[in-house]
């Protein structure tokens, strides 16, 4: 048995590869992307499982193999998101570009030598403490930008993406739910008072911080949607993400944390 066979059998027996391929296969026609890539971030598996599908690009022979390591590169968009710990997000990479300290084209290298990356939407989901996954959908070449409908679809399906990955995760020691079926409460939820406001803000994207500021001013979700030119559904998803990351359940708690900050 050759090395390739060993690798293939290892991937077939891996719940992580199975989950990544399942999600990518379902969302591929929804997002109409030319490149779909995914990676699991797992402290126990090195290198982390990752998958890249570039079949829509019609690349030269052998190029697809060379691109398979892209999600594992520190300079890639996956590396950027890992450093920022942007878990449980739906976002466009350009939303966080203002904080970058390196050239934009490295995010999508080595794809961009073959074709221009026009737009990207990323989904990240947490499966357990220290275990999460990221999916990146790229529009390339002469194709148009993703629309708001695509972004809202990504937000709408994010919980199902998480469920699909958790369902493929069979290890009871790392299950996202306990035997009673109750969600495990994270350390952030139990002890958010020990974090400073700046620590908590670092968990939010730039868009979520804008929403947070308006929540502090007692703006309604409809007011925020009108101000940011987004749909009420999109703002509602942002609010839920903010509450989850801060470990709170109400605006009263939000004011207790940030009211005097």
Q: What is the predicted pLDDT for the residue at 190?
A: 39
| Structure-block tokens of residue 231 | 């749909």
Predicted TM-score of the model (pTM): 0.64
Give me the residue spans of the domains in the chain.
Answer: 3-174, 187-258
Q: Comparing 3-174 with 187-258, is the CATH topology the same? A: no
pLDDT digits (tens, 9 = 90+) for 72-112: 988 899 998 888 888 889 999 887 765 444 455 578 888 88
| Structure-block tokens of residue 94 | 């350009």
Model confidence band, residue 152 (pLDDT cutoffs 50, 70, 90): very high
CA distances from 63 to 27, 53, 119 (A): 24, 12, 21
The answer on pLDDT for 51 being more than 70 is yes
What are residue 243's DSSP bridge partners?
A: none
Q: Provide CATH code, domain 3-174.
A: 3.30.450.40
Mean pLDDT over the full length of the chain: 79
- CATH architecture, domain defined by 187-258: Orthogonal Bundle (1.10)
* Counts of helices then strands in the chain (DSSP H, E): 11, 5
Q: What is the predicted pLDDT for the residue at 5?
A: 57
How does strand 131-140 pair with strand 35-42? antiparallel
pLDDT digits (tens, 9 = 90+) for 167-214: 766 543 443 344 334 443 343 343 445 556 667 777 788 888 888 889
Per the listing, tokens 């035997």 go with 179
């Amino acid at each position: 048995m050759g090395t390739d066979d060993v690798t293939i059998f290892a991937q077939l027996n891996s719940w992580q590869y199975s989950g990544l391929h399942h999600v990518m296969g379902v969302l591929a026609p929804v997002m109409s992307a030319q490149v779909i890539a995914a990676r699991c971030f797992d402290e126990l598996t090195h290198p982390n499982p990752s998958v890249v599908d570039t079949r829509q690009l019609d690349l030269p022979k052998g190029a697809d193999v060379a691109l398979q390591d892209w999600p594992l590169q520190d300079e890639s968009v996956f590396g950027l998101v890992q450093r920022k710990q942007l878990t449980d997000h739906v976002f466009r990479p350009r939303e966080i570009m203002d904080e970058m300290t390196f050239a934009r084209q490295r995010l999508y290298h080595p794809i961009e030598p073959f074709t221009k990356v026009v737009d990207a939407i990323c989904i990240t989901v947490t499966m357990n403490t220290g275990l999460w996954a990221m999916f990146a959908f790229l529009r390339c070449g002469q194709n148009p930008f993703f629309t708001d409908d695509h972004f809202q679809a990504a937000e709408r399906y994010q919980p199902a993406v998480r469920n699909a990955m958790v369902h493929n995760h069979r290890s009871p020691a790392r299950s996202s739910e306990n035997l009673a079926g109750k969600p495990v409460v994270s350390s952030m939820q139990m002890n958010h008072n020990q974090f400073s406001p700046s620590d908590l803000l670092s968990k939010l994207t730039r868009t979520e911080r804008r929403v947070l500021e308006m929540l502090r001013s007692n703006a309604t979700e409809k007011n925020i949607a009108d101000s940011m030119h987004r749909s009420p559904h999109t703002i509602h998803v942002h609010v839920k993400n903010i509450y989850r990351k801060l470990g709170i359940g109400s605006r009263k708690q939000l004011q207790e944390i940030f009211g005097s900050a």
